[in-house]
C-alpha cells in the first residue's frame, strides 16, 4: 500500500493543493517500509489526482480538500481521508495503520 501525504515544513499541509512536497509512504506488512518526498507538478484542477495515481498512491491523507478534488481522487482509484491534523508524516501513517488517527472537520470549504 502507498499512502500520499501533502507536506509543508515536514508536516502535513492543511490544504493539499498548496503543499511544498508529497510524502509517498510505502507500507508493507503493516509497517512503514520506505518513504520518499516528491515535488508535485504545478497545481491545476485534476493534475494532482492523476499524478499521484501514476506514483502508485492508494490513499491520500489530507487536512482539507474540496469535493471536486475528492471526486477526482476517487475516479483515479485513490481513497481520501480528510480532517487529519498537521503532524509529522511518520506519526500520521503509524496512527492510520493503528486505526487511531484522529480526524476532524475537512479543513477546506470548497
* Prediction pTM value: 0.91
What is the per-residue pLDDT across 1-53, written as a single tens digit (0 to 9) for each?
999 999 988 899 877 777 889 999 999 999 999 999 999 998 787 899 999 99
- The fold of 2-97 is Nucleotidyltransferase; domain 5 (3.30.420)
Per-residue cell: 86: 498537521
Mean pLDDT of 69-74: 92
**Strand intervals (E) in the chain:** 2-8, 11-12, 21-28, 31-38, 59-61, 79-81
Domain boundaries, the chain: 2-97
Is there a contact between 78 and 57 (Cβ–Cβ < 8 Å)?
Answer: yes
Amino acid at each position: 500500500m502507498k499512502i500520499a501525504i501533502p507536506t509543508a515544513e515536514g508536516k502535513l499541509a492543511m490544504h493539499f493543493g498548496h503543499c511544498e512536497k508529497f510524502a509517498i509512504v510505502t507500507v508493507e506488512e503493516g509497517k512503514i517500509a520506505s518513504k520518499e518526498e516528491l515535488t508535485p507538478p504545478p497545481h491545476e484542477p485534476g493534475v494532482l489526482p492523476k499524478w499521484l495515481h501514476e506514483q502508485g498512491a492508494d490513499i491520500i491523507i489530507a487536512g482539507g480538500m474540496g469535493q471536486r478534488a475528492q471526486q477526482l481522487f476517487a475516479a483515479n482509484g485513490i481513497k481520501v481521508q480528510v480532517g487529519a491534523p498537521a503532524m509529522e508524516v511518520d506519526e500520521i501513517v503509524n496512527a492510520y495503520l493503528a486505526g487511531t488517527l484522529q480526524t476532524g472537520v475537512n479543513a477546506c470549504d470548497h
